[in-house]
Structure formats: structure tokens, C-alpha cells
Amino acid sequence: MTWLPAHRWHAGSFLEFAQVQPASAVMVTLDMFAEPQEHPDQLRMQALRAQLHQHAHQYYVLDTPLIPDAEYDRLFQELQALEAAHPEWATPDSPTQRVGGKPLDQFASVRHAVPMLSIRTETDTESSGAQAFDSRVRRELELTDTDPAVEYVAELKFDGLAINLRYVEGVLLQAATRGDGETGEDVTQNIRTIGQIPLRLPADAPAVLEVRGEVYMRRDDFETLNERQRARIAQGEKGEKTFVNPRNAAAGAVRQLDPAIAAQRPLSFFAYGVGEVAHGGPGNARFTTHMELLQTLKKWGFPVAEQVDTAQGAPELIAYHQRIGALRDQLPYDIDGVVYKVNSIALQQRLGFVSREPRWAVAHKYPAQEQLTTVLGIDVQVGRTGKLTPVAKLAPVFVGGVTVTNATLHNEDEARRKDVRVGDTVIVRRAGDVIPEVVGVVPKPEQPESERGPVFTMPRICPVCGSAAVREEGEADYRCTGGLFCGAQRKQAILHFAQRRAVEVEGLGDKLVEQLVDAGTIHTLPDLYRLGLTALASLDRMADKSAQNIVTALEKSKQTTLPRFLFGLGIRHVGESTAKALAKHFGQLDAIMDASEEALLEVNDVGPIVAKSLRTFFDQPHNREVVEQLRACGVHWPENEPTSAGPKPLAGKIFVITGTLPTLGRDAAKDLIEAAGGKVSGSVSKKTSYVLAGAEAGSKLDRALELGVAVIDESTLMEMIHGSM
């Protein structure tokens, strides 16, 4: 007699068994058909898996987590413990199986049930590329001009690695690379580590389903990965390297033999099609359109790019290509084009294939964002703020829609990390309006190291003005210390000096400064105060009245305050509050210029970096020369005794400023009052000591007269500050 374990019996299996056994050999007992009683731990494991699958979908695909990370970790750890206690109940679709498995010696080959064919590439990157594809489709379908437009689905063309995911009875059993289209590599262990890819599908999914899509790496994840790699390299870990671009990093992670290492690489996934479905192709049962297919995949838990859209005919394909092109650099991941597919599955079948490429689909590229070229030299440019930037001079190359001859190396550390040298073949990247950069060097195995150019070293003097170039502790950049003297920083220095929060030259804006500097009228700050009506009136779009207004504003700006003048010098790390603290502590500019680092450190708001920056600035003879020339031109300010010399003349007094003062702006008047120990308020009250009133004073003056608060003018204020009252 033949027996089967009771827990394996059900009605169907009994009928199958009975058909092949003689009647006398079959003994039936009632408990054979009783439902097996599952253990509470087994039921809990099933519930945990369902919960974790749902939360993973919410987190990785929908980006709307329902529970905190700590709660997810708790549920995950509970499932791990139960599976360790009951390994016989572990399942391949368990969330715990995302990271697991032993390192492989090599990848097994996988023959695709449905070939992973490539899509024809439209090399015409202009709008005419979309028009050409639509014309081909209409010609193949024998449509006339009077027939309606063909409906397409337009998608993004991701710059990643194509993957085929095979599900049987709803469980992910295998993941394979495209390979040659017929045969790929089994990378299941690594693909399981991607949180966006479901390990189990809903009950309404086909018995056999192959989902095709792209494994990629987001740009922010790529930068984080490279930062981690750089840290490991700095710590001396052997075998570590940085990655050239997100695509290479993603491909390297997918083909990593150790899944534990692959799990450390932040990968993402987008679905865009199917291979085998049930026991046939994608058009035989469930889907009538490609858009319906994508929406169904999304319903089953697969991420689908939100930019997918339908398009009626060539005009809407062109509009899509242009719209995505404008958004390309804002996307969090790289794309190199868009893909157009005929939406109707029936029309796809009519169109068929040619040379193993579907007639019903095309990839419409954008101009390449990366190209190879040769480094002809490395120059150093000085920016408006004094930053020194190494720039690779390149053999001209067309990349990102323009011809590129220069590319930034960012700083000395980056140039050395990438080991860019003259004569190297390099990958150059340009995305949209982003400054072209050298991504990495393409090694030449046949070239000995001794035949390469010298390692780049940043010069220690400014190539423009010859001032010292310094690199502050904790910073990556070298900077020129000749701020007031350096020709490269001239425009920035003038605009900073003339701004409202500094000495304030009303009407002196970017365009006017650009004209004055480009014409050679102004070379340093003192040249501002040597301007006359004739020089100003000769500039483009500068009328006599406008020229006179600038001359008047310059004359007015000569009376300022020590904090505003100090801030206006543009000393690195010296902001408004630091300038005020320095003026209050030392009282006089000469005392600040001559103070040692130790003396500067006694000032509130001044630390080692600021003290060193001040000393470096005033140790440059040409910076001191500019200060003396400004003084000689009539720029002046009240100076006081140091803080330790005694009480301030306006200590304890509260002022309110209203109206237009004869020579002082409101900010300058406020600085003078505060430097003399007073406070400035925005409203008049019984606590107000004085109202400083100028021309066209408003309601604050009325309020002061109503409350009997003393009203003074600018000259009275100056007498109070200088002790004449």
C-alpha cells in the first residue's frame, strides 16, 4: 500500500493519486482531507512578511513611509529571529533575503525566454528625429494624410543597466542582465538588495511574468557613494576607488560577486516593459496597450517613471522631447534621451521587427553629455572672490550641445584625486548650463607612468597679481590675498565696497561698474573717488544728470563709519557683526591693521580663522596702500578710544531715526550711534531719549513732539558723539 503524508493531501492530489493506483491499494481516512493546523510562529512569519513587503513598497516606490525606520527595523529583526528558529519555514520571497547568500565565483548564464532586443537609436537629436519616426510608422501601417494620428507612449531613456526579472507564481526567482540579448548573467542575489523591486507580486499577477527595466543610481546616491569611497581611500583601505559616473557605479554593483558589497551600493529601478507573460508574449492576454501594461506594473508594485505620457502623432512627440530636454538636468538621475513606442499592442504586432529591432519603437537621443578628449594644458583661473581654480585646456570636443575647450578641475585635491595630467585622455562632462568638468582619466595600459605629465600642484602666488595664495585650514580652495589690488577681483571688490551695507554709493550697480572696469577707467577702489562728470557722462546710456547723481553719491559716501568701511574692504570671513566688534574693541583702524593675531583673538566674534585672515590681508603692502589712498581721497569716519578706555558718550541713550539726513544714510547713522554706546529703536515711546530727524520726517516726529521727546539733527548728533555737549 502507498501512503502520502497527511499534510500534503488535498482533494485534487487525491484524485490524481487515485487515477494511477488500483482501488485495493488506496486506503482513505477522513483526516487526510483536514486542513493542516499551522504553527503560531508560522502564521506570525507570514504576517510579518506581508507587512514588511507593504512598508517597503511605501518607502522605496511611493516615497510615503507609513512607519518610522525604527519600527520597520523591529519588525525585520523579529522576522529574522523567527526564520533562524524555524529555517524550514523560510521562503525565497522573504524581505530578509534581500541581503544574503555567499559570494559567487562567477555568474551563471541565463538564456532569456523572450530575447531582450535593442531599440533603434535615432541619431538626429533635433525635433526632426521624432518627425522621422512618426513618418516611418505611418508608412509601414500604410496610413494616409487623412488617417488619424498614431498614439504613442513616450518614456525616459535611462542611463543604467537593463535587467530582466522573472517571477513564477508571484515570487522573484531570477534576475538576469541583457547580455547579448539572447543570453545574460544571473545576478539574482544582487538584484534582491534593491528595495524598489518587489520580491512577491499580488495574487492577480500571471503565473509567469518577466518584468524588464533599468537599474540605475541616483545622482545624490552616487555622490554619497563616492564620498564614502574617498574616505576609505584616505584611510588607506586597499582596493577602493571612486566611480566615474552613476551608470558605471550601478553596473559595477549589479555585477559584484559578493551580494553583501552590492547591498552597500545604493541602486534604484524603473520598470518599462515585459518579456514572457504566462506562457506567451505580452500581447496575447492581459494588455491591449503599452500604457495599460505600465499602469498594471505600477499597480503590482513596480516603480514606473512619472514622466511617462501618451502622445498623439509627431507634434506631441516633438513637444515631449523638448519638454524632457528642458527638465533633463533637474532630474535626480541621468537620462540620455527619450523612447517612443506605438501604444497599441495590436499595431506593434502588425509593425513587427526588422534586423532584431522593433519597428514600433525608437530611442530619440539628446546631445551626449560625456565625451573623450585630450588635456593640452592646465591653467589656473582667479575668480571674482579670489578663488584659484585649475582649468584643463582641452582639444576641442562637442559635448552637451556645444564645443568645449576648457573644463574645471575644481581644486588641487580634485585634480590630484582624479590624477589629471597634461597629455591624458579624459572623460569630459557637460550637463545643460553646468560648467564642463573633467570626470576622470581613461588609463592607457601601454603607457609607462614615467611618460605621463607631472602631477598638478597649485601655485602659491596669484597668477594675476602676484599676491600670496593661501589655503585656510579645513578648506579645499586656495585664494588670492590681494583682494583690493588683484585685477581678477576688481569688479567684485568695487561692488562689495559700494553696497548699501558698506560705504553705500547709491546708483553704482553691476552694469556701471562693469563699464568702468572694462574701459580701464577704474583699477582700484580709490579710482572711484577720482571720477569726474566727463568720464562718467562718456559711458553708454549715462546722461549728464545720472552722472551728476553718481558724483554726488560718491561725495556723500566719503563720510561713513569704521564698521562699514572695515566691512567694505571685503576681508575674508569679516562680516558686518565682526566688523562692528572689531571697531568697538579697537576704536581705530590703525589699531586693527597693526594688531597681532593674539590681540585680535581678544575681540568677541573673532576666532583663529578670522584673526589669521585679518593678519594676512593687512600684511599685504598693496592692501594697506589702497586704504591710505582711500583716506587721501577724503573717505573718513569717527574714531574712538578702545573699549577699555572708559564709558561711551551715548551709553544708555535710545535713539529713533526719521527722515533724510544731510550726509548720513540711516544705516551709517545707526552704526555711529551704536559705536558710541547708544541704541537705535524703530518706534517712538516714553523710553526714547532722542529722535534724530532729517528732511521730510514723518509720523515719528509727530509722535516725539506729542510725547515731549527731544528732537535733534545730524550736526547735534555729531557734537554729542565727539563730546562737545
Cβ 701 vs Cβ 691: under 8 Å: yes
75, 298, 344, 472, 481 from 488: Cα distances, Å: 60, 55, 61, 20, 12
For residue 192, give the DSSP letter: T
Taking the alpha carbons at both ends of the chain, their separation in whole angstroms is 125
Name, of 415-424, 471-480, 511-520, 644-653, the range with top average pLDDT: 415-424
Location of C-alpha cell 559567487: 104
Instruction: With cut-offs at 50, 70 and 90, classify the pLDDT of residue 37.
Output: low
Strand partners, 338: 156, 364
Amino acid 249: pLDDT: 86
Instruction: With cut-offs at 50, 70 and 90, classify the pLDDT of residue 524.
Output: confident
Q: Which residue has the higher pLDDT, 204 or 648?
A: 204
Q: Give me the mean pLDDT over the 538-555 stretch.
A: 88
83, 168, 189, 285, 554 from 101: Cα distances, Å: 15, 20, 7, 36, 75
Question: What is the Cα gyration radius of the chain?
Answer: 37
105, 392, 426, 436, 449 from 423: Cα distances, Å: 38, 11, 9, 18, 12
CATH 1.10.287.610 placement within the chain: 40-98
From its phi and psi, is residue 390 left (phi > 0), alpha (psi between -120 and 50) or beta? beta
The CATH architecture that domain 647-721 belongs to is: 3-Layer(aba) Sandwich (3.40)
What is the distance between the alpha carbons of residues 577 and 442, in angstroms, rounded to a whole number? 49
The CATH architecture that domain 121-362 belongs to is: 2-Layer Sandwich (3.30)
Please spell the DSSP secondary structure of 463-528, one letter per residue: TTT--BEE--TT-S-EEES-TTT-GGGHHHHHHHHHSTTTT--TT--HHHHHHHHHTTS-SSGGGG
Nine-digit cell at 174?
Answer: 531570477
Q: Indicate if the pLDDT at residue 338 is higher than 90.
A: yes
CATH 3.40.50.10190 placement within the chain: 647-721
Q: Give me the mean pLDDT over the 473-500 stretch.
A: 86
Nine-digit cell at 265?
Answer: 551600493
Residue type, 270: F
Longest dimension (CA), the chain: 130
Active-site annotation holds for 157: yes
What is the distance between the alpha carbons of residues 154 and 412, in angstroms, rounded to a whole number? 43
Cβ 127 vs Cβ 321: under 8 Å: yes
pLDDT in tens, 250-309: 888 888 888 788 888 889 999 999 999 985 444 344 689 999 999 999 999 999 999 999
332, 420, 594 from 428: Cα distances, Å: 20, 12, 48
CATH 1.10.150.20 placement within the chain: 562-632
- SS3 call for 93: coil
C-alpha closest to that of 169 among 134, 139, 197, 209: 209
Which residue is catalytic, options 157, 387, 556, 612?
157
Instruction: With cut-offs at 50, 70 and 90, classify the pLDDT of residue 19.
Output: very low
Estimate to the nearest angstrom the gap between the alpha carbon of 151 and the chain centroid: 36
From its phi and psi, is residue 173 left (phi > 0), alpha (psi between -120 and 50) or beta? alpha
Q: Is CATH 2.60.40.10 what the domain over 370-451 is classified as, yes or no?
A: no
pLDDT in tens, 227-255: 888 888 878 777 677 787 788 888 888 88
C-alpha closest to that of 160 among 352, 305, 12, 367: 305
pLDDT in tens, 390-421: 999 999 988 877 789 999 999 999 898 889 99
Residues 6 or more apart in contact with residue 360 via CB below 8 angstroms = 137, 341, 342, 347, 348, 351
From its phi and psi, is residue 216 left (phi > 0), alpha (psi between -120 and 50) or beta? beta
What is the distance between the alpha carbons of residues 214 and 335, in angstroms, rounded to a whole number? 11
Nine-digit cell at 660?
Answer: 533724510
Amino acid 594: pLDDT: 94
Amino acid 434: pLDDT: 66
Residue type, 663: T
Please spell the DSSP secondary structure of 112-170, one letter per residue: -SS------EE---STHHHHHHHHHHHHHTT--TTSPPPEEEEEEEESSEEEEEEEETT
Amino acid 567: pLDDT: 94
Nine-digit cell at 645?
Answer: 578706555
pLDDT, mean over the chain: 85
What is the distance between the alpha carbons of residues 508 and 514, in angstroms, rounded to a whole number? 10
| CA angle in degrees (0–180, nearest 5) for 208-214-217 | 135
Cβ 626 vs Cβ 525: under 8 Å: yes
Cβ 579 vs Cβ 655: under 8 Å: no
CATH of domain 40-98: 1.10.287.610
Q: Which helix (H) or strand (E) element contains residue 365?
A: strand 361-365
pLDDT in tens, 84-124: 888 888 887 787 766 545 555 678 999 999 999 888 888 78
CATH 2.40.50.140 placement within the chain: 370-451
Amino acid 504: pLDDT: 92
Task: Quote the CATH superfamily of domain 562-632.
Answer: 5' to 3' exonuclease, C-terminal subdomain (1.10.150.20)
Amino acid 28: pLDDT: 45
